[in-house]
Structure 1
Amino acid sequence: MSRRPAPESHPTPVLIATTEELVPVCERLRQEPFVTVDTEFMRERTYWPELCVVQLGGAADTIVLDAMAPGLDLAPLGALLADESVVKVFHACRQDIEIFLLKFGRTPAPVFDTQVAAMVAGFGDQASYDSLVRALAGAAIDKAHRFSDWSARPLSAAQVAYAAADVTHLRQVYVALVDRLEREGRLDWVREEMTALMDPAGYVTEPERAWERLRPRTGNRRFLGVLRAIAAWREREAQRVNIPRGRLLRDESLLEVAATAPADAAGLARVRGVTEGFAKGKSGASLLAAIEEAKGLPEEALPEAPRERSGPAASPALVALLKVLLAAKAEEHDVAPKLLAGSDDLERLASEAPEDLPALHGWRRTVFGEDALALREGRLALGVDGRRVRLIRQG
């Protein structure tokens, strides 16, 4: 990944709010090897994130873009984010990428997430931006405006300064991380992670699959059919009126509606968390229609119950050994354990070692997966050498 040494002093932040100002900025930034990017948005009251501010950092530019300015055309920004000759550097970028996918119909590319890179570089699980700035840029972040109302106008000078700091120090963090990862031969590990982050499929919630996130603990397919229908209804209705899904109907209420499958407004209003006004209104009527339609589904159209893991249950002792191995390998390679494998991954490794497990692919397999399989199959034992865990190869 290309980079340029960070400047000793940061460019003065410039607040822009017109297309005429944005065009030359984006043209300049498209000539650079990388640009740092951040956003400020509001989501507490809406289903869709409301983009308020976009920050851009270049070698000679620190831009705070008022994304809510009347008449502003964001197309030049979209072209910059799509320019594959320019690396877009973020910190903890999933929400930023989701916003840009909604705005422009594609994810920025290529991207570099300094939080993921820091996990690869040994800074622990989910290293904060503040901690990386302290460690790699020798600066401190003023957190006073972290919870600002970014939709309020005009933006204050303090808000502009706070927003700018998110992309100025990020340039130094990026350069330091890339230098470190290059020395350690780990840039390819980060590239693997970035490929997944740029996949649009990871940011799309299909309404018909929304029920799965509720993880119902039942094999009753009729209940699951109603739950699937009303979870899809909630997703679409929340999108239509642009409010958070939980504000429309909480998860607990949704599960009770699926269990009772009310036939009329009076029955719906008896569900805890459902008001009489909601039950008798337009949303309540459309929810009852979705329930009625789900009740009429033939057996073969109902969803299957969540599958239990096949094969024998995982041995708690083997899971414990895998946890020790994970900690030892993470310590050996100075990488965050969470990035190698989670608790569920270890459970699956102990019971079935499925091929779709991330720990058994790419750089994770090299660092941890191969030895995890060897331990599971009796080809590897664990011992203690002084104060460190030692791997003992068998045969």
Structure 2
Amino acid sequence: MPDSPDSPPDDDEVTALLEPPGGVSAPLTTPEQIADLARRLSSAEGPVAIDAERASGYRYSPRAHLIQLNRRGVGTVLIDPIEVPDLSSIGEALRGVEWVIHAASQDLACLAETGMRPDRLFDTELGGRIAGLERVSLGRMTELLLKISLAKGHSAADWSIRPLPRDYLVYAALDVEILLDLRDEVEALLDKQGKLGWAHEEFESVRTAPPPPPRVNPWRRTNGIQAVKDRPGLAIVRALWESRDEIAKRTDLAPGKVLPDRLIVAAAIAKPKHMGAMLDLDGFTRRGVITHRKRWLEAINAALGLPETELPPRREPTDPSAPPSRWMSKEPKVAEFFATAREVVLALSEELSIPAENIVPPTAIRSLAWQHPEHVDTESVDAFLAAEGARPWQRALVAERIAAALN
């Protein structure tokens, strides 16, 4: 029986790539270096591999702290966008060029902040999903399709530190060193499966996607908030979260570095009314937290002083965009409609070896369930899914089947 596309290669088939063959150069840090790179990129041919490193978990801002490029004829180049934040000349040099990015939705926003926006996109991670690969990390896919293992280990590093250690630069350079070769393998796999057109529709959708809308009541996502059982406690969570967010944004520190979620929840449960009681809570005397102790106590006291009419409700109104587990037991008719449509999507997912969330946007199925129209046909389902952002290939697969199942 032949191996599936996701069959693991034998260890002796995989070659370790510990450093780029051409070595690693220091990141570009001057406008003159960027202008020279733009000229070289303009004269090269073929797609360009691009990646960006952020300092998630360390900084509030999602900005890029390192950008990596590789184009045949130019090689691998690293750029420090903190030193040269305007990279619009690079964007102009790559007009009309296909950008190859692994998990592009994670990087496009921070690249756009520098003036770099693609005209065409090939997302190797998304392509791997559509091709039916179960594990689509860059390292896993290079091992599977190129028989090359990459030196990894700094994906969660603090990329805002300067100077960046050499091993960080090696890691970053390897992320784009063989990405163009991986792109070719993914394209061949998609073409063989008859899914290449579907993949290109998905790539374009990612490229042109608008920024996500702001979250409603983001403080309710505080980890551990389910332990807070009363409305005054929830008011404390909200007040501390909002104070923390303002400080984190102003200082460009990750919110968890300013005040961890567990301390917000602890204060919401304990409801300390004076400084001593608050500092007695485990963690409030730690470095960083204690610096803003007056702000934390002010937030707590302000929350405890709210009239009942201004306290947050214990539960939010049912949100159609929320995961089904939050509303299925409360809305049986919606739940049945959703389950019927979801069953169709899951069957197609198994049939085509494509994750269900890539068959059709999950929010589209949830929204359709909440509408639960009395009369359903292929045309009405197709129109609804189109309005919810489903791509033509997705609607062609699911609209008729969902309509039939619901009738």
Q: Taking structure 1 as reference, are residues 164 and 276 closer, same or farther at Cα in structure 2, changes over 3 Å only? A: closer
Pick aligned residue for 1:291 from 281, 300, 312: 300
Alignment partners' CA distance in 1, 2:251 and 2:258:
9
Q: Secondary structure at the match of 1:127?
A: coil
* Superposition pairs of residues 47-196 of structure 1, within 5 angstroms: 47-48=60-61, 51-67=64-80, 72-75=83-86, 77-81=87-91, 85-101=96-112, 103-104=113-114, 110-124=120-134, 126-136=135-145, 138-143=146-151, 146=154, 151=161, 153=163, 156=166, 162-178=171-187, 180-181=189-190, 184=194, 186-192=196-202, 194-196=204-206
The offset of 1:186, in angstroms, is 4.4
Which residue of the partner structure matches residue 213 of structure 1? 221
Which residue of the partner structure matches residue 201 of structure 1? 211
Q: Taking structure 1 as reference, are residues 128 and 261 closer, same or farther at Cα in structure 2, changes over 3 Å only? A: same
The offset of 1:84, in angstroms, is 5.0
The aligned amino acid for 1:56 is L
- Is residue 256 of structure 1 aligned with residue 248 of structure 2? no
Deviations 1:272-331 (A, max 9, x none): 43228777x551111222233334445555545322435227779994x77764443123
The offset of 1:36, in angstroms, is 0.8
Q: Secondary structure at the match of 1:73?
A: coil
Which residue of the partner structure matches residue 23 of structure 1? 35
The offset of 1:265, in angstroms, is 1.1
The aligned length equals 357
The offset of 1:231, in angstroms, is 1.1
Alignment partners' CA distance in 2, 1:68 and 1:201:
21
Pick aligned residue for 1:331 from 342, 346, 350: 350
RMSD: 4.3
Alignment partners' CA distance in 1, 2:183 and 2:337:
41
Structure 1 unmatched runs, 5+: 1-9, 380-395
The aligned amino acid for 1:337 is A
Q: Taking structure 1 as reference, are residues 373 and 246 closer, same or farther at Cα in structure 2, changes over 3 Å only? A: farther
Whether the 8 Å contact between 1:62 and 1:164 is mirrored in structure 2 is no
Which residue of the partner structure matches residue 231 of structure 1? 241
Whether the 8 Å contact between 2:131 and 2:195 is mirrored in structure 1 is no
Q: TM-score, normalised by structure 2?
A: 0.68
- Is residue 306 of structure 1 aligned with residue 304 of structure 2? no
The offset of 1:153, in angstroms, is 4.4
Alignment partners' CA distance in 2, 1:351 and 1:167:
43
Q: Taking structure 1 as reference, are residues 318 and 159 closer, same or farther at Cα in structure 2, changes over 3 Å only? A: closer
Whether the 8 Å contact between 1:40 and 1:53 is mirrored in structure 2 is yes
The offset of 1:74, in angstroms, is 3.9
- Is residue 39 of structure 1 aligned with residue 39 of structure 2? no
The aligned amino acid for 1:89 is V
Alignment partners' CA distance in 2, 1:345 and 1:114:
24
Structure 2 unmatched runs, 5+: 1-19, 319-326, 374-383
Whether the 8 Å contact between 1:345 and 1:359 is mirrored in structure 2 is yes
Whether the 8 Å contact between 1:63 and 1:164 is mirrored in structure 2 is yes
The aligned amino acid for 1:371 is R
Alignment partners' CA distance in 2, 1:201 and 1:143:
33
The aligned amino acid for 2:175 is D
Deviations 1:304-363 (A, max 9, x none): 5322435227779994x7776444312322322343369999888778769689998334
